[in-house]
Amino acid sequence: MLTISQLAAYAGVTVRAVRHYHQIGLLPEPERDASGYRRYSAGAVVSLIRIRILANAGVPLSQIGQMLEADASTFAAAVEEIDRQLGDEIARLAASRKQIAQLAAGDRLALAPEVTTYLDRLRDIGVSERVVAGERDSWILMSARWPDRVREWMPSKIAQLDDPQLIRLYRILSDIFESDTGDDTLLVEAADILASLADQAYRSGEIDLGEVAQDDLPFDLLDALAVEADPRVKRLLDLMRERGWDGLARLERLAEPST
Amino acid sequence: MLTISQLAAYAGVTVRAVRHYHQIGLLPEPERDASGYRRYSAGAVVSLIRIRILANAGVPLSQIGQMLEADASTFAAAVEEIDRQLGDEIARLAASRKQIAQLAAGDRLALAPEVTTYLDRLRDIGVSERVVAGERDSWILMSARWPDRVREWMPSKIAQLDDPQLIRLYRILSDIFESDTGDDTLLVEAADILASLADQAYRSGEIDLGEVAQDDLPFDLLDALAVEADPRVKRLLDLMRERGWDGLARLERLAEPST
DNA sequence: TGGAGGGTTGACGCAGCGTCAGGGTCAAGC
DNA sequence: GCTTGACCCTGACGCTGCGTCAACCCTCCA
C-alpha cells in the first residue's frame, strides 16, 4: 500500500497532479486508511503511468479517460485526431515564429519591406520624424485593410518621390508640424501644391484606386488620424475644400475647377 | 468616431478581445458618449493593430505594452526571447507528436517494441489474455522504473520462452486464472516448476540484476499487482515460501535448499 | 514530548478570451 | 408612439492543468 507521495514519485508526477486526476474523475479515489490518508494499490500505479503516457503525448486530460477504455480502432482514430491537432498547433506556432522574426525594429512592425523603404526615402528627402511617423501609422491602417494591395502600390509611390513638387510639399509639411506657430502662409502654400498635384493626377487620369475607392472608412480614418496628430490639419482640409478638393488621403473633386 | 464593434472589425478582433485589452490596461479606455458607449479615434485603430501584430506573433499580452514602448535594442532583445520560447514550445509539441505516433494499439501504450514482441510471443505459446494483460502491466511498471534497462533485458526473456518448462508453467497459470475453481493441484504444480526454474537459475548464477535488485519497491509492487489481479496468487506465494523462495517477480532464496 | 515531514480539504491564480445573464440605447419601419 | 433588431454596457463564470498558499491533522523519530 502506497501513500500519495510514493505513488506520485513512482509515476514521476506531483502529488497535486494526482489529486487533480481524482477531482476530474480520471483516476478513481482509493480507499482511505484509519486517519483518512489515501492508500494506493499497485494497480493505481499502472493506471497513473498509463494516464501520464497519454498526457505526455499531448492528449487533453478530458479525453484520456475515454481513450484508455476504447477499443483498438477507436483508440487509433483518437490518436490520429490528436496528432492532427498537434500538427495544427505546431504550424500555428511556427507561423508566429516567422512573424516575429520579421519584427526587427519599430518601423517594420506591421509593415511590408516596400513600405519601410518608402519611409526611409522620406527621411532621406528631409521629412521630419513626426511626419514620417504619421505616414507610418497611415500605412499601418492601409496594410490592415488591404494587406495584399499595399505592396503593389508602393513602387509608384516611391517613384513619385522624385517629383520636386512633392518633395517641396513634404518639406513644407515638416516645417509646419515641427514648429508650434500658427503660421498660415505655409499651410496655404502646402494646399496650393497639393491641389496642383491633384489637378495633374486628375487630368492624366492617374487617380484610379479601383474598387478600393468604394470603401470610405479607411480614408476617413486616415484623415481623422492626421487631424488627431495635429489639429492644424483641419485648416489644411478647409483650404483644400476651398480649392475644390475633399479629403486628404483620398482627394475627391467637389466641383469642376474654374479653369 | 468609431464604435467598439467597428474598431474590432477593422483590426480583425472580437469586441470581447478589445474589452479585455482595456481591462488589462493594454489599450487605454476611450471617452464615452452621452449614453456611455465607448467612442474610438483613428489612433486607437493603429494601437490595436500594433497590439494584434505582436499578439499574433506569439507575444504574451503582458509583455506587449512594454514592447510597444521600448527602444529598438530592448525590443530586439525581447523579440529574441520570445523566439526562444516559441522554439521551446514547438520542440515540446513535436516531441509529443513523436510520442503519440508510437501509441498505435493498446498494448504498445508505454511499452518498447521489444516488450510487445515478448507479449505477442506469450500469446503464440497459448498464454491467456488475462495473464498476458498481467504481464503487460508488470512491464509497464518496470519500464517506468528502468526505462532504459528494460530493452536490454528482453532478448534473454524472449529466449527463455523456448524452454519447455517455462511454456508449461505459463499454460498452467493460464488454466488457473481462466477458471474460477480453487483447484490447488495446478497451483502446486506451478509452484514446483517455478521453484525448479529458480533453482536452475540460482545454480548457474543466472540471477544477476545488479544494482536493480537493490530497489525493493518495484518488485513488491509487481507482486502486489499480481495478487490484486487474482487473490489465488497469494497461495502461490505461500507455496513458493514453502519451497524456500520469497517473492515472485524477483525470487529470493530464504534458506539453502534441503538438497 | 516536541518537531519535522508527511497527509487532508478548500480556494485562488495563471492566459486570453468565449459566453451567458440582465440590463440600456439607437435607428428604422409601422 | 410602439415595436423590432442590432448594438452597447457591466459582471461573472468557464476553460486547462495544475502551482501555491492556508489552516489543520497524523506519524514517526530523537
Helix pair A149-160, A113-125: axis angle to 10 deg: 20
Query: pLDDT tens string for chain B (259 positions)?
Result: 999 999 999 999 999 999 999 999 999 999 999 999 999 999 999 999 999 989 988 899 999 999 888 888 888 888 888 888 888 889 988 888 887 877 765 566 668 889 999 999 999 999 999 999 999 999 999 998 888 889 999 999 999 999 999 999 999 999 999 998 878 999 999 999 999 999 998 887 665 566 677 788 889 999 999 999 999 999 999 999 999 999 999 888 887 655 4
Per DSSP bridges, beta strands B245-246 and B252-253 are antiparallel
* pLDDT tens digits, one per residue of A175-197: 999 998 878 999 999 999 999 99
Distance separating alpha carbons of residues A12 and B144, to the nearest angstrom = 9
The CATH code that applies to domain B1-69 is 1.10.1660.10
- Virtual torsion, Cα B38, B42, B45, B50, nearest 10 deg: -130
Q: A148 phi and psi, to 5 degrees?
A: -90, -35
What is Dmax (Cα atoms) for chain B? Answer: 103
Pick the more confident residue, A113 or A121.
Answer: A121
Answer for the pair A57, A50: CB distance below 8 angstroms, yes or no: no
Q: Of A48, A81, A86, which Cα lies nearest the Cα of A63?
A: A81
pLDDT digits (tens, 9 = 90+) for A31-64: 999 999 999 999 999 999 999 999 988 899 999 9
pLDDT at position A148 over 80: yes
Q: Do B10 and A82 touch (CB under 8 A)?
A: no
Residue A217: is its pLDDT beyond 90?
no
Q: Check CB contact of B145 with chain A, cutoff 8 Å.
A: yes
Cα(A3)–Cα(A219) distance, rounded to whole angstroms?
69
Closest partner residue to A58 (CB to CB) among B41, B93, B137 is: B93
CB pairs under 8 A between A and B: 159
Measured between alpha carbons, how far is B29 from B19 in angstroms, rounded to an integer? 9
Residue A104: its pLDDT value, please?
62
CA atoms within 13 A on the CB side of B190: 22
A86·B106 Cβ contact <8 A: no
The pLDDT tens digits for A58-86 are 899 999 999 888 888 888 888 888 888 88
**Helix, strand or coil, per DSSP, at residue A230:** coil
Transcribe A199-214 into DSSP letters: HHHHHTT----GGGGG
Q: What contacts A120, CB < 8 A, 6 or more positions away?
A: none
Report pLDDT for B105. Answer: 57
pLDDT band at A210 (very low <50, low <70, confident <90, very high): low
Scanning residues 14 through 53 of protein chain B, those with a beta carbon under 7 Å from any atom of strand C turn out to be: 14, 16-17, 20, 33-36
First-residue to last-residue Cα distance in chain A: 101
Question: Is strand D less than 7 A from the beta carbon of A4?
Answer: no
Domain positions in chain B = 1-69, 72-102, 113-253
Q: How far apart are CA B30 and CA B152, in angstroms?
A: 68
Tell me how far apart the alpha carbons of residues A37 and B259 are, in angstroms, rounded to a whole number: 47
CA–CA separation, A205 and A59 (whole Å): 61
